Amino acid sequence: MARLPRWTLPLFLVLLFQLLFSSGSVLRESDEEEFSEELLLRPLPDRKVLAHFHFESRAPPSLADSYGRHHHLFPKAIAQLVQKFRVKEMELSFTQGRWNYERWGGFDPISSKNAKPPGVELWAVFDVPQNQVDVYWKNLTHSLSGLFCASINFLESSTTYSAPQWSFHPSSGSLRYGTLPREAVCTENLTPWLKLLPCRDKAGLSTLMDRPSIYKGFYHSQRLHLTSGGLESGIILGQTLTVVLQPTSQRASGTSSGANLQPSWSLSSVFGRKVTTRCVLAKSSNVYLQLERGLVTELENLQKENPISGAVFMDSEELRSNPGFELSVKPDWAFKEVNSLHSKGLSVLYEYSMAKYNDSEPFDLTLTWKSPVVWSCPQAPLHASRFLMGSGNERGAIAISLISTGLKENFMGANFVEDRSKLEVDIFQVVPWYIKVYFHTLRVFVDGKPQALADVVEKMRVSPSEDKVSPGVMELLLKFPCDVESATLTLEFDKGFLHIDEYPPDANQGFDIPSAVISFPYFHESVYYLQDNSLNKAPMLSKFQDKSPVRSYTEVLLVPLTTPDFSMPYNVITITCTVFALYFGSLLNVLRRRVGEEERFLKNKAAKRGGRLPQLLSKLYAKLRGKEWESSPSSSVLSSLVNTKLILKLKRITANMKEARGKDVYPEAAEDLNLQVDVIPDVTAPSAGL
Amino acid sequence: MDESEVEAPKAKPRPIVRLGIFLISHSLLFSVFCCTAGLLTLLLLPLLAKNTYISENALMPGSANPMLSSQEVSEANRLVKSLTSLDLQPKGSGIESQRLIAEFMSNLGAEVNYQKFYPRSNQFHPLHFFSYPDSGTTWVNVSCSSHGVNTIGIIRAPRGDGKEAIVLVTPYNPLKIGPGEALSLGITYSVFSLLTQVTWLAKDIIWLVVDSRYGEYAAVDAWLRDYHMPVFSGLGSVNAETCYGSNVQNEPKENLLTERKIHDGFRRAGTMAAALVIKVADRSEHFEDSLSIYAEASNGQMPNLDLINIVNYLAVHRQGLRVKVEKIWSLLNCKWLLILGEILESLGHVARSLNPQWKFGIPAADYVEGIATLASSLYYQALGVPTGPHGAFRDYQVDAITLEISSRVALNNKAKRNDFLLRGGWLIEGVVRTVNNLLEKFHQSFFLYLLTSPSKFVSVGVYMIAFALLVAPLPMVAASLYAEAHNVDPSSGKEKSTPSVRTTDELGITLTSCKWLNAAKIVFVVHLWGAVVSLLPYFICQIPSCTPTTRFGIWVLLSIFSLLILYLILGSPFSHVNASQPRKRDWVLLKSVTISVAFIGLCLMSVINFATAEIGALLMVPMCLMAQPLKLDVKSRSLRSFSRLVCNLALGFIAFPPVTFFVLKGVFEGFGGIAVGDFWNWLESIWEWSSATYLYLGMVYLPCWVLCIQVLCHRC
C-alpha cells in the first residue's frame, strides 16, 4: 500500500476500492497478514546492554480463501515449509557465545526463551502420524539447511536427533530435537533470516543490525519460532535476535568509586547506527527500554536517599530528575509490571514509538548514568552447571551440579503453586552414542549426602544409545526439598571407538556432548505489564505473558576420545608391503631354484671362462679357511651379506616406526616407503644372482 | 658330484639361522662392538640433534603484534606495589593478599573463587603405586589451621563456546611474598587484564594463583584433583566449610560488588588445552635477561614439543630473551668432553673439505653444552620426579611447562620494572595467543624426545639406536652361554652348530634342562626378593621418629635377612652346588638366565621410562656381560684374566645402587657432606612421586646386581 501514490488514476481507483475492501476486512481481525517490529533494550548489571529484536509475522488461517498461494507480508518460504512438512511448531536458533545466567539473569522471559546453547538448536513438532515423523524431520532439516545456509542437514542422521517425551516440551511423540554444538554462526546465516522480513534490513528497526557491531558482542542468538495452528489460527512466525553488547567506554581505572559507574550508552554508540524510519509495512514499530526489578529497587533506594520526589518514575518529569540515570528522549509510554506478590521493586518498561521519527530526525536513545548502581538479575531457583570428571582416554563421568542461587525466597510465592513443598526439576540430556553412558551409575547427592534414587527421582525415562544408530536420551524429573542448597548428579561413561572413516577432520579436538536442558516446571517466567489499551497489545509483551516454565541450558562439554594416529594406516601399509615382499621374495627363490642345475651351470661357466686369477684366489681362500675347495663358494658369502643388510634395514624400519609412533610425521613415513622399495631388490638379489 | 648334492642342503641351513649362529659364536666380539657403538652413539647424539620447528600449522606463533600496553603494566605495577606493601605489614594468615588479588581480578570482570585445600601427606602406598589414593581418606584428620587457599579467576571467552581453557599458574607464598613472586603475579595480572578486553579469545582463561606455603606442586595438584575428580559427599567439604566460615566470613564486607562476585562454589572452564606456570627468579642474571624452561613431568613424560617450540620461538625471536634449559654444569668443565668435541669438530671440517654437502660438525663448545643438556634431560626424565608444578598437569594429560623469567638488572627502579613487566607480559600474551589459535589439542609434534639445547632435540627414533645397540648383545650372549653350557661336557670343542647338538644323547639334554631349571629358580627367588625389598620401606616408614640413616640401616639389614630366609625356604644355590660336585659350570647357565631376565626387564622399562632404561643399561649391560667367577680368573693368572678380575670387582662395587648414588653425587656435587641418610632421602622422594624408577631399581636392577655378585662369588 506504500506505493499507492505512484499509480495512475484508473488503477488508483481500483486500488482505492481494494483498500476500502481490505480495510473492511480489518474489522474481521486476524484475517489480515500482520507484521510488527520491536526492540527491547535492557542495561545489564555487568556494564553490558541487552538488545532483543522481535519481529512477528502472522498469516491468516485459511490461505486458500483470501490469496491462494500468494502473500503480502508473510514469507512464502516459511508458509510452504509449514504446508509441506506439516509443522505444528518449530524453533530454530543459531547462537554464538554463552548466556551468562548468573549475571544476565535466568528468571525472565528473555533469558528463558532466548538463551540458547551454542551452535544450532532445532526442534519441531509435526502434525503427522507417529511413524512418519522421522521422514518429515529429515526432509525438514534439508530444507532448512538450504534456507539458512547452515549444515542443519547433519541433523538428518538418526544419531544426532532424539525424541524427548515430556521433559522438553509437553507435546508427545511427534517432537524431534537436535543440536549441532559446533556449528559456526555467521552473517551468511543472518542474511537469509533477514530476507524473511518484509523490509529486510533496509528500513525499520532492522537497520540497526550493523554486522560488525552485532557480531562483536558477548552473546548473539538468532532465533526463528514458528507456530501453526492449522485452520484456526494461521501461522505465527516470530523472529528474534538477542545480542549482548558492551558499550564502548573508557575503562575506569582501579577500584575507585568511578569504577562502579555504569558506562553510558546510546543506540548509535552501541550499534553504530540510528533508527531513521520505521518499516512502513509494520503494524507497530516500537522500542522499549526495560529496567529490571533489581535495578528499580536500587533506584528507589537512591531516590529515598536524596528526596527530590517520591513516586516511581512513571512521570517524565520525575524521570528527568531521577538521581540514577538520564534519558535523552522522553518516552511515549511507561508501563509498570503487575504482580500480586511483589509490592515493591517491579520492573518498568518505557515505550518509544518509531512512527514520529524520520531521516531528518532520527531516533537515538541515550542513557547516561549519574550515580553508581549495583544490582543483580533475577535468578532461576537453581543454577545449573555441568562438567566432566576423570581423566584419561578410557572412562569418565558427567556431573550436573545444581546450586541454589539463594534468591529463591523471593520467588517462592511468585509464580509458584503454593501447596507444593518440593522443588521440581526437569533434566533432559542427550548423549552421543560414542559416549557410552551407564545409566545404572546415576547417583544423586543432595547437600553433600548421597540419596537413594527413589527418594529423589519422581519420573524417569531413559533410552540407551545404540551404536551408530541412536543417541542415549535421559529425561529425569527430580524432586528436591525446598531448602536444597546444592544437588549433584553423576553419570559414568566409557569412551567408545569410532570407525576410522567416522572421525571428523579435527578429531583430535575432541567430541561434543550437547547441552542438557534444565527446566523448572512449577516456576513460570511470565511478566505482566499494566497496559492502558489492551486492544493494540504489543506482540512482544504478550509473549512475555506466556506461562511457560523457566528453562536453562548447561555448557557444552568436550570429550577427548582416543583418536588413532592417522598416519598409522600408512605405517601398516608399509610394514605389510615389507612382509609381503619378504614372503614372495623367498617363495620365488624357493620355486625358481634348481640347485643341481645351477651348480653345474656355474661350474661349466667357470671352466669355460677359465679366468686363472679368480680361480687361484678362491683356491687360496679355501686353503685359508682350511676347507676343501668348492667351485662356487661365493654364493653363501653373498647371501649372508645380503641377509645382514636385510636385517639392518629391517631394524631401521622398526626404528622409524617407533619414531613415527611418537609423532605423526609424514617425511619419516615417506622414508619408510623408500626403504621398503630398497628392500625388495635386495631380497630378490640372491635368486637373481644364482 | 652326487655326494656334494647330498651334502649341500645339510651344510647350508636357512641364512637367518646361519646368521644367528654366526653372531652367537662371535658373541664376545659382537658384544664389545655393540656396547662401544652404543656408547658412541649416545655421545654423538648432540651431532644428530635436529633443529626444532613448529609442527602444528594452526599455531602461527608471533604472527600478531603484542597488544599489551603500558596501561595494563601500570595497573600490574599497582598490584605489585600493594602486594609488597602488604608483605611489609605484620599479619597472620595471609588471607589479605589473597583477598587483594581476588579483588583485582573481579574488578577486571573475571569470575573469582577461592579453593581451599589441605596438604596431602605423601606416603608410600604400595597398592596405589600408579593410581591415586582416595581423595577422601587423607582429609579427615586435618586441623583447620593447616590449609591453603588457592585463588582462581576465570575469563570467559566472549564468543567462545567454553569447551576449552588455557591455564596460567602463578605460585606464591602468602605468608611471605618474595619480590620475584610479586613480579610474576604482576606479569600475569597484566596479561589477564588485557585478555578481559580482547575479542580474539576462543578459549577461556583460568588464572590460578597458587598458595605455595605447602609446596607448589601440592597446591596445583589439589586444584587439579578438585577440578577433575571432585568429591560430592564426605567429611572433607563439611570440614572445609566450617573452617572457612571462621576465617573469612567474619571479615567486614567492605565491597559489596566484590563480595557478590566472589563465589564459594568451585568454578570450571572446560577441557584444558595447555598450562603455563609463570615464575620470576629472585636472583638476577649476569649477562642478559633470560628464560628458563622446565618441562619434565612424572615418569619422564614430556609436554608436546610444540609448546616448548612456541615459547622458545617467541622468547628468542620476539622478546630477545636468552632461553635456557637445565644442564649439568659440572660436565661443562670436563676436559675429555672438550677433547672429544674438538675431535668431532675437526672431523666435521675434514668431511666438509671433502664434500661441502656434509655438515655434521658442530663447534666443540656447543657439543659440550649439548652433552650437558642432554645428560640433564636424561637424568630428570630418568628420575621420574617432575621438575616443577607443571608436572601435576601432565597427570591429567594436559601439556604444561614452567617458565622462569630472570632479569639482568635489579628491579628496584620503576621504569626498569615496568620494562620487565612489559617484556614478560608480551611473551606470555604471545604464548596464550598462539595456544588460543590451536584448533585441536597438541598432538602434531613429538612427545618422546630429549633436548640438547632449547632449539635442538633428539627424537625417539634416533636416541633409541643407542639403547638398542647397548641391549642387543644381551640375548646373543645369553644364547651363546646356553649353547656353551650344553656343549661343555662333550669333547666336540668349539663346534656349536646344530647338527652336532642333534647327535647328543637324550640323557644329556634332560640333564642340562634340569640345570637350566635350577638356574631359573635362583633367578626367580632373587627377583622375588627384589619385590620384597621394594615393599619394605612401606613398613619402615611406619616406625616413628627415625633418622634417615637408621631407616636405611634397618632396610639393609632387613633386606639381607629376607634374602637369607628366602634361600633357606627355597633352597640355596651354594648348598646345591656342594651336593653335586660335577656341576661346576652352573654359573654359565645362571649367567645366561640372569642376562635374559635383565634384557626383558630393560626392554619393559624402556617402554615405561626410556631414560631410566638407558641409564640403567649403561651400568647393567657391562656388569652382566663381564660377570665371571673370580676363582676362575684367579686360577688362570694371565694378564687378561687379571684385568677382567679388576673390572669385575670395580663394576660390582660401583653398580651397587647406594654406591652408584654416592659416586655420582660426589662427582657432580663434590664429596663433601655426603651422609648415608641421603640415599634414603633420595629413594623416599622417588617413591613419593610414585616414579617407575623406584620399581625398576627394586625389581630389575637390584636382583640383577645380586645375581651378578653371585656369579662372581661362584665356587668352581
CB A9 within 8 A of CB A27: no
A589 CB near a chain B CB, below 8 Å? no
CB B480 within 8 A of CB B23: no
Residues 389-428 of A with CB under 8 A from B: 389-393, 399, 403
What is the pLDDT, as a whole number, of residue B328?
A: 86
Check A643 against B16: CB less than 8 A apart. Answer: yes
Say what the pLDDT of residue B468 is. Answer: 93
Instruction: Indicate the range of A261-270, A595-604, B1-10, B201-210 predicted with least confidence.
Output: B1-10
CB interface of B with A, residues 369-398, below 8 Å: 395-397
User: What pLDDT, on a 0 to 100 scale, did the predictor assign at position A501?
Assistant: 83
pLDDT > 90 fraction of chain B, expressed in percent and rounded: 29
Query: Largest alpha-carbon pair distance within chain A?
Result: 130
Instruction: Write the CB contacts of A542 (distance below 8 Å, at least 6 apart in sequence).
Output: none
Which of B602, B622, B599 shows the shortest CA–CA distance to B612?
B602
pLDDT at A306: 65
Query: How many cross-chain Cβ pairs, A to B, lie less than 8 Å apart?
Result: 155
> What distance in Å separates residue B646's CA from the closest CA in chain A?
35
Give contacts of B460 with chain A, Cβ < 8 Å: 658-659, 662
Selected residues 255-274 of chain B with any CB under 8 Å from a CB in chain A: 255-257, 260, 265, 268, 270-271
- b (16+ CB within 10 A) / e for A451-475: beeeebbeeeeebebeeeebbbbbb
Measured in angstroms, the CA of A544 and the nearest CA of chain B are apart by 27
Which residues of chain A does B16 touch, with a Cβ-Cβ cutoff of 8 Å?
643, 647
Interchain pair A655, B16: CB under 8 A: no
Q: pLDDT band for B1, please (50, 70, 90 cuts).
A: very low
CA A525 to chain CA mean position, Å: 23
Q: Quick one: cell of A86?
A: 506439516
Question: Measured between CB atoms, which of B9, B164, B228 is closest to A391?
Answer: B228
b or e along A96-134 (b: 16 or more beta carbons within 10 Å of the residue's beta carbon)? Answer: bbbbbbbbbbbbbbbbbbbbbbbbbbbbbbbebeeeebb
Q: Looking at chain A from residue 455 to 474, which residues have their Cβ under 8 Å from any Cβ of chain B? A: none
- Which residues from chain A sit within 8 angstroms of residue B194, using beta carbons? none
A46 and B22 within 8 Å at the Cβ level: the answer is no
Quote the DSSP letter at residue A430: E
Most confident option among A414-423, A527-536, B177-186, B285-294 = B177-186
Query: Is residue B581 within 8 Å of B589, Cβ to Cβ?
Result: no
Assess whether pLDDT exceeds 90 at residue A153: yes
- Note if the pTM is more than 0.90: no
Stretch A166-172: mean pLDDT, rounded?
Answer: 80
Q: How far is CA B13 from the centre of its chain?
A: 46
* Min Cα separation B15/chain A (Å): 6
Q: pLDDT band at B89, cuts 50/70/90? A: confident
Kindly give, in sequence order, each residue whose CB lies less than 8 Å from that of residue A679, ignoring residues fewer than 6 positions away: A578, A581, A582, A646, A649, A650
For the cut 60, the answer to whether the pLDDT of residue A117 exceeds it is yes
Looking at the DSSP bridge assignments, the partners of residue A96 are: A220
Place of cell 632449539: B455
- Interfacial B residues in 57-96 facing A (CB < 8 Å): 71, 75, 78
Judge: A640–B156 Cβ closer than 8 Å, yes or no: no
Which domains does chain A possess? 34-118+181-369 (no CATH), 382-409+420-559 (2.60.40.740)
Distances (CA, A) of B80 to B104, B151, B208, B209: 11, 16, 17, 14
Contact (Cβ atoms closer than 8 angstroms) between residue B468 and residue B613: no
pLDDT of residue A301: 82
Each residue of B667-684: pLDDT tens digit? Answer: 877 777 777 788 888 888
Read off the pLDDT of residues A409-418 as tens digits, 9 standing for 90 and up. Answer: 544 444 444 4
Q: Are B458 and B449 in contact (CB under 8 A)?
A: yes
Q: Do B163 and A389 touch (CB under 8 A)?
A: no
Instruction: Select from B255, B441, B448 the Cβ nearest to the Cβ of A662.
Output: B448
State the nearest Cα–Cα gap between B161 and chain A, in angstroms.
6
> Is the separation of the CB atoms in A115 and A555 below 8 Å?
no
Report chain B's mean pLDDT, rounded to a whole number: 81
Q: Is the pLDDT of residue B28 over 50?
A: yes
Q: How far is B714 from chain A (nearest CA, A)?
A: 37
Report the relative pairing of strands A435-446 and A486-495 from DSSP bridges.
antiparallel
Q: How far apart are CA A365 and CA A332, in angstroms?
A: 13
Using an 8 Å CB-CB cutoff, list chain B residues near A508. 440-441, 443
**Between chains, do A253 and B161 touch, taking CB under 8 Å as contact?**
no
Query: Chain A residues with CB inside 8 Å of B197's CB?
Result: 251
Confidence at residue A527, expressed as pLDDT on a 0 to 100 scale: 80
Determine the average pLDDT of the residues in A220-249.
86
Q: How many whole angstroms from its chain centre is CA A654? A: 45
Q: Does residue A529 belong to the interface with chain B, where contact is any CB pair within 8 Å? A: no
Q: Do B460 and A658 touch (CB under 8 A)?
A: yes
Tens of pLDDT, residue by residue over B366-395, are 999 999 999 999 999 998 889 989 999 988
pLDDT at residue B24 is higher than 70? yes
More confident residue, A565 or A315: A565
Question: For residue B395, which residues of chain A lie inside 8 Å, CB to CB?
Answer: 391
Residue range A357-370, pLDDT digits in tens: 888 888 888 888 88
Nearest beta carbon to residue B232 from set A488, A643, A656 = A488
| B208 beta partners | B152, B169
B63 vs B413, more confident: B63
Instruction: Please check the confidence at residue B251 and state whether its pLDDT lies above 60.
Output: no
Mutation choice for B interface testing from A100, A255, A657 by most B CBs within 10 A: A255
Comparing CB atoms, the residue among B18, B441, B447 nearest residue A560 is: B441
pLDDT, mean of residues B261-271: 75
Please give the average per-residue pLDDT across B493-497, as a whole number: 40
- CB-based contact A399 B230, cutoff 8 Å: yes
Cβ of B4 within 8 Å of Cβ of A630? The answer is yes
- Examine the pLDDT at B164 and tell me if it is beyond 60: yes
Chain A within 8 Å of B48 (Cβ-Cβ)?
Answer: no
* Residues 360-389 (A) with a CB less than 8 A from some CB of B: 374, 376, 385, 387-389
Residue of chain B nearest A600, judged by CA positions: B1
A94 pLDDT higher than 90: yes
Contacts of A510 in chain B (CB under 8 A): 163, 271, 440-441
User: What pLDDT is stored for residue A488 in this prediction?
Assistant: 92
| pLDDT of amino acid A327 | 86
What is the least distance, in Å, from the CA of A205 to any CA of chain B? Answer: 24
State how far the Cα of A211 lies from the Cα of A75, in Å rounded to an integer: 23
Helix ranges (DSSP H) in B395-472: 414-437, 460-471
**Cβ separation A639–B396 shorter than 8 A:** no
State the smallest CA–CA distance between residue B704 and chain A in angstroms: 27
**Domains (ranges, CATH) in chain B?**
12-43+472-500 (no CATH), 70-145+157-326+387-456 (3.40.630.10), 502-712 (no CATH)
The predicted model gives B236-259 an average pLDDT of 42
- In this predicted structure, the answer to whether residue B490 has a pLDDT above a threshold of 70 is no
- CB spacing of B439 vs A506 below 8 angstroms: yes
Residue B599 carries which side chain, given as an amino acid letter?
F
Q: Out of A26-30, A398-402, B654-658, which region has the weakest mean confidence (pLDDT)? A: A26-30
- Predicted local distance difference test score (pLDDT) of residue B168: 95
The answer to whether the CB atoms of A662 and B449 lie below 8 A apart is: yes
Residue B611 confidence (pLDDT): 92
A256 touches chain B (CB under 8 A): no
Q: Categorize the per-residue pLDDT at A341 as very low, low, confident or very high, splitting at 50, 70 and 90.
A: low
Of the ranges A603-617, A625-639, A657-671, B426-440, the best mean pLDDT one: B426-440
pLDDT for the residue B128: 59
φ and ψ of A240, to 5 deg: -125, 150
CB A45 within 8 A of CB A103: yes
Alpha-carbon distance B278 to nearest alpha carbon in chain A (angstroms): 24
Give residue B434's pLDDT band: very low, low, confident or very high (50, 70, 90).
Answer: very high
Interface of A with B in 200-219 (CB under 8 A): 216-218
pLDDT beyond 60 at B193 = yes
Candidates A512, A558, A632, A642: best to mutate against B (most CBs of B within 10 A) is: A558
In angstroms, the separation between the Cα of residue A391 and the nearest Cα of chain B is 6
List, for residues A270-292, the tens digit of each pLDDT value: 998 888 888 888 888 999 999 88
What SS3 state is found at A679? helix
Residues in B closer than 8 angstroms to A99, CB to CB, are none
> Are A421 and A470 a contacting pair, CB within 8 Å?
no
Alpha-carbon separation of residue B330 from B334, B335, B375, B664 (angstroms) = 7, 11, 11, 11
State which residue of chain A sits closest to B20, comparing Cα positions: A644
* Residues recorded for chain A: 690
Interval A486-495: pLDDT, tens:
899 999 999 9
Kindly write down the DSSP assignment for every residue of B317-352, as one continuous string. IIS-PEEEE---GGGGG-HHHHHHHHHHHHHHHHHH
Residue of A nearest to B469 (CA): A651
| pLDDT at residue A160, as a whole number | 92
The interface predicted TM-score of the complex, written ipTM, equals 0.84
What's the whole-number mean pLDDT along residues B183-190? Answer: 93
Residue bearing the bigger pLDDT, A530 or B666: B666
Q: What is the mean pLDDT of the segment spanning A19-32?
A: 47
List for chain A the helix, strand, coil content (%; round to 5).
35, 30, 35
> A119-126 and A175-180: which strand pairing?
antiparallel
Listed in sequence order, the DSSP H helices in A86-186 are 101-104, 109-114, 133-148
Matching residue, cell 619385590: B531
Q: Which residue has the higher pLDDT, A242 or B683?
A: A242
Say how far apart CA B193 and CA B200 lie, in whole Å. 14
If you measure CA to CA, which chain B residue comes closest to A181?
A: B161
Cα distance between residue A296 and residue A318, in whole Å: 14
